[in-house]
Structure 1
Amino acid sequence: MSPIQAMERSYSALKQMLREGRYAPGARLEANRLAEELGVSMTPVRDVLHRLVGERLIEAASGEGFHVPRLTESELRDLYEWNSALLLIAVRTAREEPQTLSIEDLLGTTADQTALVFDRMASAAPNQEIRASIASASDRLHAFRMLEDTILEPMIGELDEIMIRDQGQPQSIRRYHLRRMRAVPLLLRERDKG
């Protein structure tokens, strides 16, 4: 396997593990253990860890290494608020209809469907910075979205309502995020249990 292949494979695997919340908040990520787990050398793993710091999926502290962020209530609320603001900008500036979801898209988890819906909304916006920022916020929120099914029941129809491009769409986006912002303490408690 080439060094580039090793790095891309390591990046995809580690990013997916972080998105799924496999590591507890505050968990230390040691390059040598990750390299062993992923079956690659430490060099691509170290490069991946630095890349993920840049994406804010992990944090690095001098002398303490890499670790999973431990979001506070206000930080998680801010992240939901940021995601909402970005989506509202994407909707306001969209120059085309977002692609509709296929039957295969609906087979994933609610967290995967949410990421896909928001990605489709972002792709309709002409600004690449907005698209990249929505993708980044989605990655950082994914582990919490995986917990929403148990905390925010029922969620039926929320994503459908958000996808309908009409005058009510901004209110649907805002309502969706406000509901989650109110549930932040419960989401954090549930995440800390796992």
Structure 2
Amino acid sequence: MSPAQAMERSYATLKQMLREGAFAPGTRLEAIRLADELGVSMTPVRDVLHRLAGERLVEANSREGFHVPRFTEAMLRDLYEWNSALLIMAARTKRPGEEEKPIAPLWEVPAGADRIAALFARIAAAAPNHEIGDAIAAANDRLHPFRIVEQRILERVEGELEQLITRGSDQPHAIRRYHLRRMRAVPDLLRERGEA
């Protein structure tokens, strides 16, 4: 395997593990141990950890190395607020003709956190500003472990998706309601995730 292939494979694997909550909050991510698990040398893993730190999926400390981030209530509320603002901006600025595109393929995505991420990516893709899409993708990655936990804490999560698919001027309101509900549940989400 070439160094570039080793790095991309390591990046994809570690990013997915972080999104799925495979590591507890605060867990130290040791490059040598991860390299052994992934069957690659330590160099690509170290490079990947730096890349993931740039994406804010990992925290880097010069004395303590790399860790899975720990969220406070304020931090998680801010992230939900940021995600809400980005999605509302995307929904309000979508390109003409996006209203007519079919929604059906979304239901082919497995239920839960992946389906929510796919829906939000679709909303982002309709916006004319691609920076909005990149920011929504980054927020999606950071919120993914909490979206997994949401399924256990909140009722009627799948029903909310139908409201989020609402077309026209109601969509920004549905996006806001979706996020406010989660912002109210932040203490429970952190506790369920092992951060409180």
TM-score, structure 2 as length reference: 0.94
Query: Alignment partner of 2:167: what SS?
Result: coil
TM-score, structure 1 as length reference: 0.95
Contact map agreement 1:99 1:120 (CA 8 A) in 2: no
CA distance in 2, matches of 1:130, 1:63: 34
Summarize the Cα distance change of 1:16–1:171 in structure 2 as closer, same or farther, 3 Å threshold: same
Contact map agreement 2:111 2:158 (CA 8 A) in 1: no
Gapped regions of structure 1 (runs ≥ 5): none
Contact map agreement 1:101 1:117 (CA 8 A) in 2: no
Contact map agreement 2:112 2:151 (CA 8 A) in 1: yes
**Displacement of 1:78:** 0.4
**Displacement of 1:157:** 2.0
Summarize the Cα distance change of 1:99–1:84 in structure 2 as closer, same or farther, 3 Å threshold: farther
CA distance in 2, matches of 1:119, 1:91: 11
**Displacement of 1:101:** 4.1
Query: Alignment partner of 1:138: what SS?
Result: helix
User: RMSD between aligned alpha carbons?
Assistant: 1.4
- Tell me what 1:102 maps to: 105
**Displacement of 1:169:** 1.0
CA distance in 1, matches of 2:52, 2:39: 19
CA distance in 1, matches of 2:177, 2:148: 19
CA distance in 1, matches of 2:76, 2:104: 28
CA distance in 2, matches of 1:103, 1:90: 18
CA distance in 1, matches of 2:106, 2:134: 26
**Displacement of 1:171:** 0.9
- Tell me what 1:72 maps to: 72
The amino acid across from 2:41 in the alignment is S
- Tell me what 2:85 maps to: 85
Describe the superposition over 1:137-168 as per-residue Cα deviations: whole angstroms up to 9, x where unpaired. Answer: 00000000001111101223211111122221
> Which residue, 157, 167, 170 being the options, matches 2:169?
167
CA distance in 2, matches of 1:137, 1:80: 8
Gapped regions of structure 2 (runs ≥ 5): none
Contact map agreement 1:19 1:142 (CA 8 A) in 2: yes
CA distance in 1, matches of 2:188, 2:133: 29
- Tell me what 2:134 maps to: 132
